[in-house]
């Protein structure tokens, strides 16, 4: 167990594993996402209440789902940074924060465009929407703080603390639709219950969620590799790797 | 197919502009971050290679400081 933990902490080991995994993550993820979207856009039945505008769900829910789980993953990595000083955990946080910000923006944007024909308004300051907006600002904060401190170790610690403080927002987002009166509909997927929609709707949705997860995995590996190359530029293995790739 | 024709698919009973805007922005941003990340890694690899390359071949470098290891006498 400890051996695996140590290996996981080794940038060189991670770099090799990531290179092997990345093609799978990208192509399987893209295939699932495209299948889910094509199914959802063209073949899933129309919603009896919302009509065809509900078809935005096949990207809105994956983006919102990922936006929150990426933050939770960052919080776990932040904890690992603080407790075990594992460099790779900090590399992860730096690498995925911009991806998380884009996913949060996409969730907000697609939600606003969906809101117009469904609720009659682009935006409302209610609990779910506002807490998602705070999540976007938290991502921006993590990126800005990371860039503002040049010392690698203090920067890693500061970013980890900010990520951990911000994680309080996640249960607020999740339960906002239950705690407060909000225009937003309750969760589509719950682990404990059967989905409230027919299989022709939730199967493509599940496909696109899983597909986007895999694509996120690819992006995370790719961006972590870049961060590792920058940080470990002076080590021998990076020099050898860079030379080998050039020939 | 949930639609009778391609025209109906694009129009989506009036919801077309909303649906297609969302999908367009989604693919635009996901594509942008993917391409940007790929270019960033390529750029870093190029940069590192130039750095190690110039260090590995000091003879080709233009005139400048030259650090040669000297062996001082141990006597």
Mean pLDDT across chain A, nearest whole number?
89
Q: Quick: pLDDT tens for A200-247.
A: 888 999 999 999 999 999 999 999 999 999 998 888 888 888 888 765
The predicted complex's ipTM stands at 0.89
What pLDDT band is residue A44 in, cutting at 50, 70 and 90? confident
Q: Do B48 and A239 touch (CB under 8 A)?
A: yes
Q: How far apart are CA A140 and CA A98, in angstroms?
A: 8
The minimal CB distance from A219 to the residues B25, B37, B51 is found for B37
* Nearest residue on chain A to B40, alpha-carbon basis: A226
Residue A5 lies in a domain: no
Residue A7 lies in a domain: no
Q: Which ranges of chain B does DSSP label H, i.e. alpha helix?
A: 6-11, 16-56
Q: Do B25 and A106 touch (CB under 8 A)?
A: yes
What pLDDT band is residue A197 in, cutting at 50, 70 and 90? confident
| pLDDT score, position B54 | 65
Identity of the highest mean pLDDT range in A166-180, B22-36, B58-72:
B22-36
A207: containing domain: 16-246
| pLDDT score, position B61 | 46
Residue A206 lies in a domain: yes
CB neighbour burial string for A25-57, b if at least 16 within 10 angstroms, e if fewer: bbebbeebbeebbebbbeebebeeebebbbbbb
Give percent of chain A with pLDDT exceeding 70.
94
Q: Identify all chain A residues contacting B37, using CB atoms and an 8 Å cutoff.
A: 219, 222-223, 226
Report, as an integer, the average pLDDT of A98-125: 92
Give the total number of structural domains in chain A: 1
Q: Quick: pLDDT tens for A161-188.
A: 999 999 999 998 888 888 887 778 877 7
CB neighbour burial string for A187-212, b if at least 16 within 10 angstroms, e if fewer: bbeeeeeeeebeeebbbbbbbbbbbb
Q: Do A56 and B3 touch (CB under 8 A)?
A: no
The minimal CB distance from A230 to the residues B1, B44, B53 is found for B44
B73 against A34, higher pLDDT? A34
Q: Quick: pLDDT tens for A112-168.
A: 999 888 888 888 888 889 999 999 999 999 999 999 998 988 999 999 999 999 999
Can you give the pTM of this predicted structure?
A: 0.87
* Range in A72-81, A138-147, B11-20, B46-55 the model is least confident about: B46-55
Q: Do A46 and B2 touch (CB under 8 A)?
A: yes
Residue A126 lies in a domain: yes
Q: How far is CA A59 from the centre of its chain?
A: 13
């Amino acid at each position: 167990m400890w051996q695996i933990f140590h290996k996981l902490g080794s940038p060189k080991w991670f770099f090799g594993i990531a290179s092997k995994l990345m093609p799978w993550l990208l192509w399987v993820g893209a295939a699932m996402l495209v299948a889910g979207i094509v199914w959802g856009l063209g073949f899933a039945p129309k919603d009896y209440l919302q009509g065809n505008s509900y078809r935005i769900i096949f990207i809105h829910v994956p983006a919102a789902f990922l936006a929150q789980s990426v933050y939770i993953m960052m919080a776990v990595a932040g904890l690992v940074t603080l407790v075990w000083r594992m460099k790779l955990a900090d590399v992860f946080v730096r690498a995925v924060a911009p991806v998380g910000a884009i996913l949060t923006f996409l969730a907000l944007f697609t939600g606003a465009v969906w809101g117009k024909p469904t609720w009659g308004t682009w935006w409302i300051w209610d609990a779910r929407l506002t807490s998602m907006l705070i999540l976007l600002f938290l991502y921006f904060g993590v990126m800005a703080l990371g860039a503002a401190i040049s010392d690698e170790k203090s920067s890693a610690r500061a970013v980890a603390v900010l990520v951990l403080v911000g994680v309080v927002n996640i249960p607020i987002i999740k339960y906002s639709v239950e705690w407060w009166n909000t225009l937003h509909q309750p969760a589509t997927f719950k682990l404990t219950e059967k989905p409230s929609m027919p299989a022709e709707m939730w199967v493509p949705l599940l496909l696109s969620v899983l597909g986007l997860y895999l694509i996120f995995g690819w992006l995370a590996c790719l961006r972590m590799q870049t961060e590792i190359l920058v940080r470990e530029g002076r080590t021998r293995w990076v020099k050898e790797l860079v030379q080998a790739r050039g020939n | 197919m949930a639609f009778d024709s391609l025209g109906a698919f694009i129009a989506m009973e009036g919801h077309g502009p909303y649906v297609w805007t969302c999908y367009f922005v989604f693919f635009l941003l996901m594509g942008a971050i993917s391409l940007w990340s790929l270019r960033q890694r390529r750029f870093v690899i190029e940069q590192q290679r130039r750095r190690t390359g110039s260090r590995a071949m000091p003879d080709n470098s233009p005139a400048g400081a030259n650090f040669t290891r000297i062996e001082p006498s141990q006597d």
